[in-house]
Amino acid sequence: MFKGSIPAVITPFVDNEVDYHSLVKVLNFLIDNGSHGLVPCGTTGESPTLSHEEHKKIIEETIRIADKRVPVIAGTGSNNTLEAVEYTAHAENSGADAALIVTPYYNKPTQSGLYEHFKTIADRTNIPIIIYNIPGRSIIDMTIETMIELSKINKIIGVKDATNDLFRPLITRKKMQNDFCYLSGEDGTALAYLAQGGHGCISVTANVAPKLCSELHSAWQDGNISKAQEINLKLSSLHNALFIESSPGPVKYAASLLGLCNKKTRLPLSEIKDDTKKLVKSCLEELQLL
């Protein structure tokens, strides 16, 4: 079972190339500050702009650098089922602990198409699979009924839920009644998601406040609810600031202020506005991270 604070890792760039030197710095910073896992090559890692070769190398490097200190959940999704199979098989062969697979974007498959997409990937690989349900980016929403059917496939073990519907995990758990991993995909409501039966959060904020994020989840797991609430309140302004503009623009700027990597994103994401920069910096200062 995956749990706790799991950063959706940013991909550093320099001169529009992947900056593997900074990637080492980022990953060690996250692990050394208590993160409970890593997710490379997700949306926060700008996976849509990575070449096949870059995508695979980042997965390999993350697994190598993590060196089994924390689990690695590799982002292997695509709106091309065969490409998702290829990425997932590569992650499996590279030693990833699980694969995070997004619902196919742009194509707008039916619920039947969603089921067959995930079933095909599961049938052709032997790695645990976590469904990434994010209607805001992929337009489609996997229904609870489809997720229940997919959960009957042994290799499909959980969900990253970015619907921001806090009633959903409760209803899903009641209907599913099996051992399924529930991970939030929304920093601002992650603590509330834990209260509804969640196990952790695949987090953007944890890229720049990994210690606070990991302490929040550890406090929750230890039953120290008041401490978790206190940390959550501290983080609330930063959670908000990191999504004022399209992620990962603000979080990469925050990472640059911390000296972790360059602030650059790849087009079509452009540099964030000066007002956003001021807000992000102010939030980091408020948390005494700068």
Residue 212: name the closest of 269, 149, 286 by CA: 286
CA torsion, ordered 225, 226, 227, 229, to nearest 10 deg: 90
In this prediction, the residues of the chain whose per-residue pLDDT falls under 70 are none
User: Would you state the pLDDT for residue 220?
Assistant: 98
Cα three-residue angle 158-86-109, rounded to 5 degrees: 60
CA torsion, ordered 85, 90, 93, 98, to nearest 10 deg: -70
CA torsion, ordered 248, 85, 183, 6, to nearest 10 deg: -50
Task: List pLDDT tens digits, range 164-181.
Answer: 999 999 999 999 878 999
Contact criterion met (CB below 8 Å) for 290 and 240: no
User: Would you state the pLDDT for residue 176?
Assistant: 86
The domain limits of the chain are 4-222
User: Would you state the pLDDT for residue 134?
Assistant: 95
User: Would you state the pLDDT for residue 36?
Assistant: 98
Fold designation for 4-222: TIM Barrel (3.20.20)
User: Would you state the pLDDT for residue 77?
Assistant: 97
The residues annotated with a catalytic role in the active site are 132, 160
User: Would you state the pLDDT for residue 177?
Assistant: 73
Task: List pLDDT tens digits, range 244-256.
Answer: 999 999 999 999 9
In whole angstroms, give the CA distance from residue 65 to residue 63: 6
Q: Is 273 left (phi over 0), alpha (psi -120 to 50) or beta?
A: beta
